């Protein structure tokens, strides 16, 4: 491959343009044509993103596939793209998930289908752009622009309470983001650049770091979401159409974690260390308290949404306990492991939550209910489906052999180096996660057939099998052989730990 070929730009703009065309075409296209176009475009995008993995240089933490051209010269803002070991797996996850979302919409969305598919393609491009932007303003523009298609997706194709949910989603995320913008502007006023690498290397006083950390926290904690600002997520998930839930859970939540790794920790390392204890406590509250909340849910989507918050608690825990680990062990090995655990947890949760939401979507398409009490004995009529859902439920509970185990195990293991009590509370997820997931699974799938509607259910067709099987493949692959993920991100994470353990005070 030619080294200066703008591959990232192609992956970003090709789906955006096709998506726009589909949005404009609307009803002028036959439903089957627009589905075909969307599928080909999403497959092509995925195919284009595969070389990002194979041509990726595992030996360096430097940015790769870099494109850098001036965008707004008067302010030194550049169209600067590039990926490292943190961004690359997330980009692949994005392009892969979009294919599944397009497939999942095949029969279940009938109203304005072309626009629905178009919105997801646009979203796909914008999300890849968020992960690959190396200029803070470019990042911010994509970060915010991404809200627009999601807002429309939930608002147009969502459930009965969709308007409340989508406005809440938009305003919550907007609230967080604008303060991040002020932080960027402040950094620019100090350093005269929006280039992320320059921001990483900029010395900052403690007071400034604390304020900037808080501003970043608002943006990323809302997105991921962390405990006190998580309330938008269950609403958005419940009301969103299946595809929207999948993208939200599999990709958008990861942007919060990505933001912590790309902005909060490297730009404000001293404040991160200062606030690490608070972050750990909030993460543990998310893991334990939200775990209990999930247990009490009667709505399947809501349950998975709370389970996502709980799992994301692991991600933030893994990130912010590194300071304690380094202090206790005076080496960075444990910290690297914890951070890698967070990354693996993010990627694996992308597959698992995607799988769980698609399973609920499969049931919802047939029964038009998400309530656990409306189901029971599904295994009798849908055995193949039950098998797939079993796998995702087990993975969600963290069963060894599935990808859900790897991240949680690494984080709990390293948590012992930080403190016994952190590890203790984190490990409670093994009980809670198993409890809420498997209990839901039992109530929905096992037992006698409870009503006539369940008795009439049709098992999943070939298309649905393909979707679930491809996710199941990755859940098992990374459960049994997670090495590929570690290999690509190891140099980046090591460098990151190096960077964030150096004080920026001067």
The binding site for other proteins (CB under 8 A) comprises: 23, 26, 71-75, 140-142, 144-145, 147-148, 151-152, 155-156, 162-163, 166-167, 170-171, 174-175, 178-179, 181-182, 185-186, 188-189, 211
Minimum distance between the CB of residue 166 and other proteins, rounded to whole angstroms? 8
Q: Which is nearer to other proteins, 11 or 147 (CB)?
A: 147
Q: Which is nearer to other proteins, 219 or 372 (CB)?
A: 219
Rounded to whole angstroms, the Cα distance separating 270 from 276 reads 10
Which of 310, 199, 312 is closest to 258 using CA atoms?
A: 312
H or E segment and range at residue 254? helix 253-259
Minimum distance between the CB of residue 179 and other proteins, rounded to whole angstroms? 7
Sign of CA dihedral 321, 322, 325, 327: negative
Minimum distance between the CB of residue 156 and other proteins, rounded to whole angstroms? 6
Minimum distance between the CB of residue 182 and other proteins, rounded to whole angstroms? 5
Which runs of E-coded beta strand occur in 41-117? 64-72, 77-83
Minimum distance between the CB of residue 190 and other proteins, rounded to whole angstroms? 10
The helix/strand/coil state of 30 is coil
Minimum distance between the CB of residue 134 and other proteins, rounded to whole angstroms? 17
Minimum distance between the CB of residue 17 and other proteins, rounded to whole angstroms? 13
Q: CA distances (Å), 194 to each of 115, 174, 191, 500, in order?
A: 34, 20, 8, 19
Minimum distance between the CB of residue 206 and other proteins, rounded to whole angstroms? 16
Q: Which is nearer to other proteins, 145 or 288 (CB)?
A: 145
Rounded to whole angstroms, the Cα distance separating 431 from 180 reads 37
Q: Which is nearer to other proteins, 65 or 151 (CB)?
A: 151
Query: How long is the chain?
Result: 506
Q: Which is nearer to other proteins, 163 or 296 (CB)?
A: 163
Which of 246, 218, 237 is closest to 300 using CA atoms?
A: 237
**CB proximity list for 158: less than 8 A, separation 6 or greater:** 165, 166, 239, 240, 241, 244
H or E segment and range at residue 393? helix 383-397
Q: Which is nearer to other proteins, 175 or 281 (CB)?
A: 175
Q: Which is nearer to other proteins, 91 or 152 (CB)?
A: 152
Rounded to whole angstroms, the Cα distance separating 402 from 389 reads 13
Which of 484, 485, 390, 499 is closest to 444 using CA atoms?
A: 390
Q: Which is nearer to other proteins, 62 or 182 (CB)?
A: 182
Output the CA angle 170-356-287, nearest 5 degrees.
Answer: 70
């Amino acid at each position: 491959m030619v080294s200066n070929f703008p591959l990232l730009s192609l992956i970003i703009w090709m789906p955006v343009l096709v998506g726009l065309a589909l949005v404009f075409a609307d009803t002028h296209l036959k439903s089957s044509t627009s589905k075909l176009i969307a599928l080909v475009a999403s497959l092509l995008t995925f195919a284009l993103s595969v070389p990002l993995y194979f041509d990726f240089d595992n030996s360096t933490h430097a940015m790769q596939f870099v494109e850098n051209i001036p965008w707004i010269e008067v302010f030194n803002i550049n169209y600067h793209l590039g990926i490292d070991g943190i961004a690359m797996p997330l980009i692949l996850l994005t392009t892969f998930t979009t294919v599944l979302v397009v497939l999942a919409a095949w029969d279940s969305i009938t109203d304005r289908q072309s626009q629905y598919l178009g919105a997801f393609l646009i979203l796909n491009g914008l999300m890849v752009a968020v992960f690959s932007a190396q200029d803070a303003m470019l990042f911010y523009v994509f970060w915010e622009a991404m809200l627009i298609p999601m807002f429309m997706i939930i608002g147009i194709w969502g459930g009965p309470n969709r308007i409340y949910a989508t406005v809440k989603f938009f305003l919550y995320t907007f609230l967080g983001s604008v303060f991040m913008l002020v932080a960027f502007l402040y950094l620019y006023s100090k350093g005269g650049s929006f280039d992320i690498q320059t921001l990483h290397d900029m010395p900052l006083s403690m007071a400034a770091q604390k304020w900037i950390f808080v501003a970043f926290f608002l943006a990323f904690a809302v997105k991921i979401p962390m405990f006190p600002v998580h309330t938008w997520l269950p609403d958005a998930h419940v009301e969103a159409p299946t595809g929207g839930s999948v993208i939200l859970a599999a990709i958008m939540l990861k942007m919060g974690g990505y933001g912590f790794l790309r902005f909060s920790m490297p730009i404000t390392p001293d404040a991160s260390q200062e606030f690490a204890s608070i972050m750990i406590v909030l993460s543990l509250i998310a893991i334990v308290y939200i775990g209990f909340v999930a247990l009490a849910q009667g709505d399947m989507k809501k349950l998975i949404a709370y389970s996502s918050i709980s799992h994301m608690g692991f991600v933030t825990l893994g990130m912010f306990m590194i300071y304690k680990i380094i202090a206790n062990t005076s080496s960075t090995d444990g910290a690297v492991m914890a951070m890698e655990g967070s990354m693996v947890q993010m990627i694996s949760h992308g597959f698992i939550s995607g799988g769980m939401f698609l399973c609920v979507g499969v049931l919802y398409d047939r029964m038009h209910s998400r309530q656990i009490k409306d189901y029971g004995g599904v295994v009798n009529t849908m055995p193949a489906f039950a098998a797939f859902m079993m796998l995702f439920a087990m993975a969600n509970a963290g069963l060894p052999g599935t990808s859900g185990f790897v991240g949680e195990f690494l984080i709990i293991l390293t948590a012992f180096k930080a403190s016994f009590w952190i590890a203790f509370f984190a490990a409670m997820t093994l009980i809670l996660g198993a409890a809420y997931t498997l209990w839901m699974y039992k109530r929905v799938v096992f037992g006698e057939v409870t009503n006539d509607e369940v008795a009439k259910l049709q098992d999943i067709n070939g298309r649905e099998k393909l979707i679930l099987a491809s996710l199941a493949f990755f859940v098992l692959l990374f459960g049994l052989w997670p090495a590929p993920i570690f290999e690509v991100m190891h140099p980046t994470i090591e460098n990151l730990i190096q960077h964030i353990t150096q004080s920026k005070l001067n």
